[in-house]
Structure 1
């Protein structure tokens, strides 16, 4: 699986698939899928059988590398012929996770993971930047020393979410309850405006490595969980 920059999720892995599976994914449906050996390109059953992929042996990389040169070249040519014959498309790995959620809800299957469908992600980067500015303006953060590089760094960072993990905000060396509560109030008030209900906030002291976790359910949105870390 390679990497792309998805307009919704930002830098992400991706899956390669035939045009028919891509169409089904766009409709929120996960069909039966087969795979082209080595390339791992996902194929619908029609593409799989029409191109006689079942006749291509599934070998491990070690087995392929141990083949005699002539057999290796024959296998390479067979895979390349099928690969070039397929109309290929790509889907962001995180977009695929969203398809999994849609498919599970439609078919009544169990959700494959805890979903955070209403979180701030790469496509909301302007909103995330606005939250960052509000925190900077309303709380005086200090720089801390990175003990691995001996350089000064800011003691907090924000990471956009996606469907399987929420927006994450991590703070280092902010240990007083009053400071933590002030920061969380700023975050809560901001998120109320955008009605976003998926975020995790972490308070941690990496120097000591001693952490205590408490899980608190905010009053206005029970779907959101926040994590408080103290040393």
Structure 2
């Protein structure tokens, strides 16, 4: 089971896929978790996939062709079923083996890569689904424990130095460069690990959303250990 601090009410836990996709976000609830303790050896799948860069997508055909032990087959069956459930729901899940993500060093004072707490944005109603099966798991941050970076005076001043247009275009500049999606954790913040095997649905910033978008980030990978992540 996932360790959720008692004071955090933004997370709602369910016990099946149907409840995961049908339970509405409301009030401060912007993260829904199908808590699971999965059988099988997911590390075997990670170790047998032929890597082609820092992020390797695994197609269903390749997954089915892997020669696996009984425990590896159990893990594969779970992956195939999760892919099937999410696809039937209308999502487009991608299964990745991740060595590391690209680091953004364009502006050292303001990285915009996925290791920074951020929200997802969409022009249409949509949710983010993700599950870590092996390796370090993603984290979310209670909205009350994060502050939008573009509202922090020192950071905002630095961003204004990068911008050379009219004052009325500054907010558009922040949005077009994704600066306004990123958050800084408060000094006493307590990020929540999403755990292994749990399938999550996170609220996205879109025009029809009734709740704040969920703040989340990718973890720093453990040296020598690749992650197995499904996301859509």
Smaller-chain TM-score range?
A: under 0.3
Greater RCO (Cα-Cα under 8 Å, separation 6 or more): 2
Q: Which of the pair has more CA radius of gyration?
A: 1
TM-score, structure 1 as length reference:
0.27
The answer to which structure has the higher helix fraction is 1
